[in-house]
Amino acid sequence: MSLDEPREDEVLVRIVASGTCHTDMAARDQQTGPTPFPIVLGHEGSGIVEKVGAGVTELKPGDHVVLTFGFCGECYTCQQGKPTYCENFPGLNFGGSRLDGSHSHHDHHHDVFDNFFSQSSFATYAIANKRNAIKVSEKAPLELLGPLGCGIQTGAGAVINSLKVSPGKTIVISGAGAVGLAALLAAKACSAGKIVMVDINEDRLEFSKELGATHIINSRNVDVIEALKEISPKGFDFGFDTTGRNDLINNTLANLKSLGQMGIVGVATKPLEVEMNSYVLKGIKLLGIVEGDSVPTEFIPQMVEMYLNGQFPFDKLIKKYKFEDINQAIEDSESGKTIKPVILIGEYKN
Ligand SMILES: [Zn+2]
Ligand SMILES: [Zn+2]
């Protein structure tokens, strides 16, 4: 298989590692719309810029980059500084080609679909756009940084950018997967007061305590509404749901204070059903959040900085796998054995 030279606004990146994220599996299973096959998936790449297109001044060969979601930079929402809601998001991330329908991967025998999240990072080399290849500090371990481009950014960004959790505020997080645990680490970094983790997996709940959860609730064993009331009788400032489950979302909403905010990132397969009537009079806000409302050129370097300062130890969520063990990594992610697998793809020396 061959790969194109980078176009004017593109970069060629030698991939060092790539995280795996549920969206890879969702695309495999046709849950993100019709996925054309064969396709190169992978959308949490980290690597080193090898070549840049003629119009790229922001990056140069040798730069360490994290690859994030694709956005156009030109539509109404991009112009508002909100690239995670780009009007071209579906085409640039799930289309299986560039927006103009062309591919960067070629095979003599058949079409190969690519440009997944404008990167297709389960590969030794990737073509990305200059907008979604984000330069990061060379002091940080490059092979760990890919998940900052999607899963970790989604949880941390929701807490820091969307909900803007400040010191002493209280938050309930449902779902102790990579996104929920990244939210927990971010809440701790923001010096939140009470941080409650809700899940059904006892090991994950214990682990969230190690990461800084002040309280844990196993929703399989207890009445969540009562348990939350006991922890904070006056209610919570924030809720954050990564599960898309109606019962968990409603349990948290029922325990929010007036003017509380609830962030939702879990894309549910069932319609979301919320008894909004009683929340209207309390001024409660329900926020749909994509990719943690991240402006990647600002937020990804910010997370790297927080990691280097010891305030955001997201590496605790990661387990590394060799490239040939990618199927095992996916299996371990789906079974819940591993929180965030990272596939080591290319050599690099720090
Ligand atoms: Zn756009
Ligand atoms: Zn993802």
pLDDT tens, N- to C-terminus, the chain (350 residues): 899 999 999 999 999 999 999 999 999 999 888 899 999 999 999 999 999 999 999 999 999 999 999 999 999 999 999 999 999 999 999 999 999 999 999 998 888 999 999 999 999 999 999 999 999 999 999 999 999 999 999 999 999 999 999 999 999 999 999 999 999 999 999 999 999 999 999 999 999 999 999 999 999 999 999 999 999 999 999 999 999 999 999 999 999 999 999 999 976 677 889 988 889 999 999 999 999 999 999 999 999 999 999 999 999 999 999 999 999 999 999 999 999 999 999 998 87
Instruction: Please choose, from the candidates 305, 323, 327, 322, the residue with its C-alpha nearest in 3D space to the C-alpha of residue 314.
Output: 305
Task: Give residue 281 CA to ligand 2 midpoint distance, Å.
Answer: 35
Structure tokens at 140: 């940080």
Structure tokens at 61: 């060969």
Task: Give residue 87 CA to ligand 1 midpoint distance, Å.
Answer: 5
What pLDDT sits at residue 333? 96
CA distances from 252 to 167, 208, 225, 271 (A): 20, 18, 7, 17
What pLDDT sits at residue 238? 98
CA distance 57 to 115: 22
Instruction: Indicate which ligand has the atom closest to the C-alpha of 265.
Output: 2
Task: Give residue 70 CA to ligand 1 midpoint distance, Å.
Answer: 9
What pLDDT sits at residue 270? 79
Instruction: Indicate which ligand has the atom closest to the C-alpha of 72.
Output: 1
CA distance 186 to 313: 9
Give residue-wise pLDDT tens across range 144-155.
999 999 999 999
Task: Give residue 234 CA to ligand 2 midpoint distance, Å.
Answer: 35
For β-strands 10-19 and 340-344, DSSP reports them as antiparallel
Task: Give residue 294 CA to ligand 2 midpoint distance, Å.
Answer: 13
H/E run at residue 130: none
Task: Give residue 72 CA to ligand 1 midpoint distance, Å.
Answer: 4
Task: Give residue 81 CA to ligand 1 midpoint distance, Å.
Answer: 9
What pLDDT sits at residue 66? 98
What pLDDT sits at residue 306? 98
What pLDDT sits at residue 280? 93
Q: Which phi and psi angles does 279 have, rounded to 5°?
A: -85, -25
What pLDDT sits at residue 271? 87
Give residue-wise pLDDT tens across range 224-276.
999 999 999 999 999 999 999 999 999 999 999 999 999 999 766 778 899 88
DSSP codes of every residue in 260-294: EEEEE----SSPP---THHHHTTT-EEEE-SGGG-
What pLDDT sits at residue 276? 85
Instruction: Yes or no: say if 194 and 214 are a contact pair by the CB < 8 Å rule.
Output: yes
Task: Give residue 239 CA to ligand 2 midpoint distance, Å.
Answer: 21
